[in-house]
């Protein structure tokens, strides 16, 4: 099922990443003379990212060693086992080695893409992550595209007519939804639209990703049907941040002379906004969008838990309660690496969008 | 915190005699607080938020008198389990037959305590790191800003969940987990402000007169970054309240203390979702949203008084 949903979602996050990257070559043109400076800037950012990744590797190992509870006890499931069997388990998972040796083993393996074996499922961690990743990307990727578009569109309009009824309504609504806990909104949506309340029948499934008996096109419809409520939840609690950042960025540009010039040469109000104000105001919004893009991989522990979505966030929470150390470590590594990579990507793209950055 | 300033608002028209530097400094501070309050008052949403906060604070502070701590007792529950809203129990009862209205009112104590303390802890760490990183340049600043950047890219909630799992289940764990994971934004802002302040001539003058590092940081830099710190704290509280509810909902809170997030977890475990008992879920969730929104409104009003360019709707 995971394989089937991959092509559908591969488009969405990749698309979003393509947007600013595609703008690169045209912006690079006039700056060809500064290539060396740009390359030095890139090298600095890449080294920084590498250091951050190493720090994550170290933290991931030591932080989760502190979790109380003996994993071997969990693996035996409370059965009566002999001391020899316990020792065999420890040997199998390398838990009998001294801590520093466990650490060097872990680092060496992690660099080759081997994240160990899950205690809980007894399968390689990397397989487990590979299984859940497409599901998470489908859910958070869809939500990411929707809330970014909605946030930017509403934010620019709110700023353009700032102080008006529309601005007050949208800013107020965004602030309110921003203050609502996502898990609560999810539960309320389940009660109203899945369980059914009063005259409203149960319109949507209560959780999971598929009903399991449909094939082909019917399967796609089924997954989309399961996707509706979690996506609405995510979009509702997330779009406010994008809206507010975009709004204040556009407001910063509002009094600028070049907007007066654009109006003076007879451009329609709509064009002044779209062609002149918005592109200049996009930098702070781009920062936020890249941060959010990094978070897409981490999914959302809460929404995935509430809707029993088989993604990485739900998996992380499940693994923590065991504690399934290799799985927790692996997920932590993947989550953090995604954010670091996206931030680095953003750093590399800024100078191409705005020549003032990175000088 | 600003309510009492109305009484001290009218500044002395003409000080009759020269006063000590200390008295002059206090007079100056009183005047700037009064000016702040006059501008704050013009932000209608900020005033609404502040009024809501005062109300919540009163409820939380008087809860032991009006409700009594026996509200949490499972054995002496007044009603039958899972009753719907009625004249006797306005919000219905939970699975033990406890009165939900009183539980929700009682829960405000945990949310406000954790929200305030976690935000103060987070902003205190952020301010300390930011000021020292801006004051001492060189390798110390490089190292500490690397650490800050590293914390900044960590998925905050994931890290807080991990910390809360690692430590024992208690309120202080939650406060620590939230405070320790959310300070980097403040640190960055405070450092930028510190760098701006330190480039001004009066810092050079203070140094020339023999002011040490501690003196310059606490007497000259800190008062200048204080407004920023204040705005950050107010905004941070709503974040901390949401995080507290989240951690409690995931079962990482103290199970013996009633909190809004904990009530929602209880509701979910009692099957309130599948049986459609919306009245169990609505009050705690709305309470969280209301308090978080109130703090956000106040924070935005404070921010826009201190930085009018933001253009926050009044």
Instruction: Parse chain A into domains and list their residue ranges.
Output: 30-120+348-359, 128-321
CA–CA dist B13, A96 (Å, integer)? 78
pTM (predicted TM-score): 0.79
Contact B162 A51 (CB under 8 A): no
Whole-number pLDDT of residue A358: 55
pLDDT band at A122 (very low <50, low <70, confident <90, very high): confident
Of A116 and B35, which is predicted with more confidence? B35
> Which one, of A5, A120, A102, A9, lies nearest residue A58 by Cα?
A102
Q: Contact A68/A322 with Cβ under 8 angstroms?
A: no
Which residues of B fall within a CB distance of 8 Å from A184?
A: 245, 264, 281, 284-285, 288-289
Choosing among B52, B53, B56, B158, which should be mutated to test the A contact, i.e. which has the most A CBs within 10 A?
B158
| pLDDT for residue A206 is more than 60 | yes
Pick A168's closest partner by Cβ from B155, B165, B313: B313
Pick A184's closest partner by Cβ from B154, B281, B313: B281
Across A82-91, A298-307, B118-127, least confident range: A82-91
Q: Looking at the domain assignment, is residue B122 inside a domain?
A: yes
| pLDDT for residue A272 is more than 90 | no
**Residues of chain B contacting A, Cβ within 8 Å:** 45, 146, 149-150, 153-155, 157-158, 161-163, 165-166, 238, 242, 245-246, 249-250, 261, 264, 267-268, 273-276, 278, 281-282, 284-285, 288-290, 292-293, 296-297, 300, 309-311, 313
Whole-number pLDDT of residue B120: 92
Tell me which H or E stretch contains A288.
helix A278-298
Whole-number pLDDT of residue A73: 63
Which residues of B fall within a CB distance of 8 Å from A202?
A: none
Contact B158 A301 (CB under 8 A): yes
Contact B285 A184 (CB under 8 A): yes
Q: Contact B304/B311 with Cβ under 8 angstroms?
A: yes
CA angle B299, B302, B305 (to 5 degrees): 150
Contact A63 B166 (CB under 8 A): yes
Q: Looking at the domain assignment, is residue B281 inside a domain?
A: no
Give me the CATH number covering residue B191.
1.10.3720.10
Contact B166 A180 (CB under 8 A): no
Which residues of B fall within a CB distance of 8 Å from A324?
A: none
Give per-residue burial for A336-346: e unless 16+ CB within 10 Å, then b: bbbbbbbbbbb
Pick B296's closest partner by Cβ from A56, A175, A196: A175
Across A11-15, A63-67, B6-10, B96-100, least confident range: A11-15
pLDDT tens digits, one per residue of A158-187: 888 887 888 888 888 988 888 898 889 988
Whole-number pLDDT of residue A26: 42
Mean pLDDT of A290-312: 81
Whole-number pLDDT of residue A151: 92
Q: Looking at the domain assignment, is residue B171 inside a domain?
A: yes
How many inter-chain contacts (A to B, CB under 8 Å) are there? 127
Q: How many domains does chain B have?
A: 1
Contact A248 B310 (CB under 8 A): yes
| pLDDT for residue A301 is more than 60 | yes
| pLDDT for residue A33 is more than 70 | no
Contact B162 A63 (CB under 8 A): yes
Mean pLDDT of A268-277: 84
Pick B293's closest partner by Cβ from A179, A183, A336: A179
Whole-number pLDDT of residue A67: 64
Contact B249 A298 (CB under 8 A): no
Q: What spatial distance separates the first Cα and last Cα of chain A, rounded to whole Å?
A: 48
List all residues 6 or more positions away from B163 whose beta carbon is below 8 Å from its beta carbon. Answer: A63, B173, B176, B177, B180, B181
Contact A179 B285 (CB under 8 A): no
The minimum CA-CA distance between A6 and chain B, rounded to whole Å, is 25
| pLDDT for residue A4 is more than 70 | no
Main-chain dihedrals φ then ψ at residue A356, nearest 5 degrees: -75, -20
Which residues of A fall within a CB distance of 8 Å from B274?
A: 195, 206
Q: Looking at the domain assignment, is residue B85 inside a domain?
A: no
| pLDDT for residue A146 is more than 90 | yes
Print the SS3 string covering chain B.
CCCCHHHHCCCCCCCCCCCCHHHHHHHHHHHHHHHHHHHHHCCHHHHHHHHHHHHHHHHHHHHHHHCCHHHHCCCCCCCCCCCCCCCCCCCCECCCCCEHHHHHHHHHHHHHHHHHHHHHHHHHHHHHHHHHHHHCCCHHHHHHHHHHHHHHHCCHHHHHHHHHHHCCCCHHHHHHHHHHHHCHHHHHHHHHHHHHHHCCHHHHHHHHCCCCHHHHHHHHHHHHHHHHHHHHHHHHHHHHHHHHHHHHHCCCCCCCCCCHHHHHHHHHHCCCCCCCCHHHHHHHHHHHHHHHHHHHHHHHHHHHHHCHHHCCCC
CA–CA dist B173, B118 (Å, integer)? 10
- Chain A residue with minimum CA distance to B240: A179
Give per-residue burial for A38-73: e unless 16+ CB within 10 Å, then b: beebeeebeebbeebbebbbebbbebbeebeeebbe
Contact B285 A191 (CB under 8 A): no
Mean pLDDT of A14-33: 42
CA–CA dist A309, A139 (Å, integer)? 9
Whole-number pLDDT of residue B87: 65
The residue to which tokens 């000016």 are assigned: B35
Complex ipTM tops 0.90: no
Q: What is the pLDDT along chain B (314 residues), one digit of tens a residue?
A: 444 444 444 455 555 566 788 888 888 888 988 988 888 888 888 898 899 889 888 888 887 777 766 666 666 666 666 666 766 666 777 767 677 788 888 888 888 999 999 999 999 999 999 999 988 878 888 888 888 887 877 777 878 887 887 777 788 888 988 898 888 888 988 888 888 888 888 888 988 998 888 888 888 888 888 888 888 888 889 889 988 888 888 888 887 788 888 888 888 887 777 777 777 888 888 999 999 999 989 988 888 887 665 544 44
The burial of B222, by beta-carbon neighbours within 10 Å (0-12 exposed, 13-18 middle, 19 or more buried), is given as middle
* Both tokens assigned to B272: 């309130």
Pick B155's closest partner by Cβ from A67, A162, A298: A298
Which residues of A fall within a CB distance of 8 Å from B45?
A: 172
Contact B281 A187 (CB under 8 A): yes
Count of alpha carbons within 13 angstroms of residue A239, beta-carbon side:
26
Which residues of B fall within a CB distance of 8 Å from A317?
A: 161, 250
The minimum CA-CA distance between B155 and chain A, rounded to whole Å, is 6
Which residues of B fall within a CB distance of 8 Å from A190?
A: 273
CATH code for the part of the protein at A128-321: 1.10.3720.10
| pLDDT for residue A81 is more than 70 | no
Q: Contact A232/A189 with Cβ under 8 angstroms?
A: yes
| pLDDT for residue A322 is more than 90 | no
Mean pLDDT of A4-31: 38
Whole-number pLDDT of residue A100: 78
List all residues 6 or more positions away from B68 whose beta carbon is below 8 Å from its beta carbon. Answer: none
Choosing among A51, A69, A183, which should be mutated to test the B contact, i.e. which has the most B CBs within 10 A?
A183
Q: Contact B257/B171 with Cβ under 8 angstroms?
A: yes
Average pLDDT over chain A reads 77
pLDDT tens digits, one per residue of B118-164: 999 999 999 999 999 988 878 888 888 888 887 877 777 878 887 88
Which residues of B fall within a CB distance of 8 Å from A63?
A: 162-163, 166
| pLDDT for residue A196 is more than 60 | yes
Per-residue DSSP letter, A33: G
Q: Looking at the domain assignment, is residue B223 inside a domain?
A: yes
**SS3 of residue A200 by DSSP:** strand
Choosing among A51, A140, A184, A341, which should be mutated to test the B contact, i.e. which has the most B CBs within 10 A?
A184
The minimum CA-CA distance between A103 and chain B, rounded to whole Å, is 19
Whole-number pLDDT of residue B97: 67
């Amino acid at each position: 099922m995971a394989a089937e949903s991959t092509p559908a979602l591969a488009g969405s996050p990749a698309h979003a990443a393509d947007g600013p990257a595609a703008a690169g070559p045209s912006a690079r043109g006039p700056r060809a003379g500064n290539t060396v400076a740009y390359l030095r800037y890139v090298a600095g950012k890449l080294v920084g990212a590498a250091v951050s990744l190493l720090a994550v590797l170290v933290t991931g190992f030591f932080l989760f060693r502190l979790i109380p509870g003996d994993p071997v006890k969990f693996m035996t499931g409370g059965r009566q086992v002999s001391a020899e069997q316990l020792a065999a388990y420890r040997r199998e998972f390398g838990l009998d080695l001294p801590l520093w040796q466990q650490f060097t083993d872990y680092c060496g393996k992690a660099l080759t893409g081997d994240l160990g074996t899950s205690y809980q499922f007894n399968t390689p961690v990397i397989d487990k992550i590979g299984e859940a990743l497409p599901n998470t990307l489908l859910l958070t990727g869809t939500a990411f595209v929707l809330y970014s578009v909605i946030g930017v569109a509403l934010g620019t309009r709110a700023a353009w007519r700032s102080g008006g009824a529309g601005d007050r309504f949208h800013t107020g609504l965004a602030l309110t939804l921003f203050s609502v806990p996502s898990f609560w909104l999810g539960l309320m949506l389940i009660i109203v639209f899945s369980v059914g309340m009063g005259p409203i029948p149960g319109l949507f499934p209560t959780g999971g990703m598929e009903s399991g008996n449909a094939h082909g096109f019917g399967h796609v419809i089924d997954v989309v049907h399961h996707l509706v409520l979690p996506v609405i939840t995510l979009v509702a609690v997330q779009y406010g941040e994008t809206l507010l950042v975009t709004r204040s960025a556009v407001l910063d540009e509002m009094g600028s002379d070049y907007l007066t010039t654009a109006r003076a040469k007879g451009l329609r109000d709509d064009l002044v906004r779209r062609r002149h104000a918005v592109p200049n105001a996009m930098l702070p919004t781009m920062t936020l969008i890249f941060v959010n893009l990094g978070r897409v991989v981490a999914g959302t522990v809460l929404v995935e838990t509430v809707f029993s979505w088989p993604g990485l966030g739900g998996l992380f929470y499940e693994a923590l309660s065991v504690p399934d150390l290799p799985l927790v470590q692996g997920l932590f590594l993947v989550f953090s690496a995604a954010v670091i990579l996206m931030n680095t990507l953003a750093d590399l793209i800024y100078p191409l969008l705005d020549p003032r950055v990175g000088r | 915190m600003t309510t009492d300033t109305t009484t001290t608002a009218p500044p002395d028209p003409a000080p009759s005699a020269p006063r000590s530097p200390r008295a002059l400094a206090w007079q100056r501070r009183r005047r700037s607080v009064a000016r702040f309050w006059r501008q704050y008052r013009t932000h209608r949403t900020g005033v609404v938020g502040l009024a809501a906060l005062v109300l919540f604070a009163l409820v939380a502070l008087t809860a032991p008198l009006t409700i009594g701590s026996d509200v949490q007792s499972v054995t002496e529950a007044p009603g039958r389990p899972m009753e719907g809203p009625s004249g006797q129990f306005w919000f219905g009862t939970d699975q033990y037959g406890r009165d939900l209205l009183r539980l929700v009112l009682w829960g405000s104590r945990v949310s406000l305590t954790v929200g305030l303390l976690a935000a103060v802890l987070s902003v205190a760490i952020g301010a300390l790191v930011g000021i020292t990183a801006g004051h001492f340049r060189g390798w110390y600043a490089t190292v500490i800003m690397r650490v800050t950047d590293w914390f900044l890219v960590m998925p905050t909630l994931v890290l807080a969940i991990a910390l809360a799992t690692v430590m024992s289940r208690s309120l202080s764990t939650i406060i620590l987990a939230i405070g320790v994971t959310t300070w980097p934004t403040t640190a960055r802002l405070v450092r930028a402000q510190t760098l701006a302040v330190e480039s001004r001539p009066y810092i050079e003058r203070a140094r020339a007169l023999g002011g040490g590092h501690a003196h310059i940081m606490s007497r000259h830099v800190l008062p200048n970054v204080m407004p920023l710190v204040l705005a950050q704290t107010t905004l941070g509280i709503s974040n901390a309240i949401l995080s507290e509810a989240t951690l409690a909902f995931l079962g990482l809170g103290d199970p013996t203390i009633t909190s809004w997030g904990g009530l929602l977890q209880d509701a979910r475990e009692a099957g309130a979702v599948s049986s459609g008992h919306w009245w169990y879920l609505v009050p705690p969730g709305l309470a969280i949203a209301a308090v978080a929104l109130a703090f956000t409104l106040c924070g935005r009003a404070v921010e826009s008084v201190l930085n009018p360019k933001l253009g926050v709707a009044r």
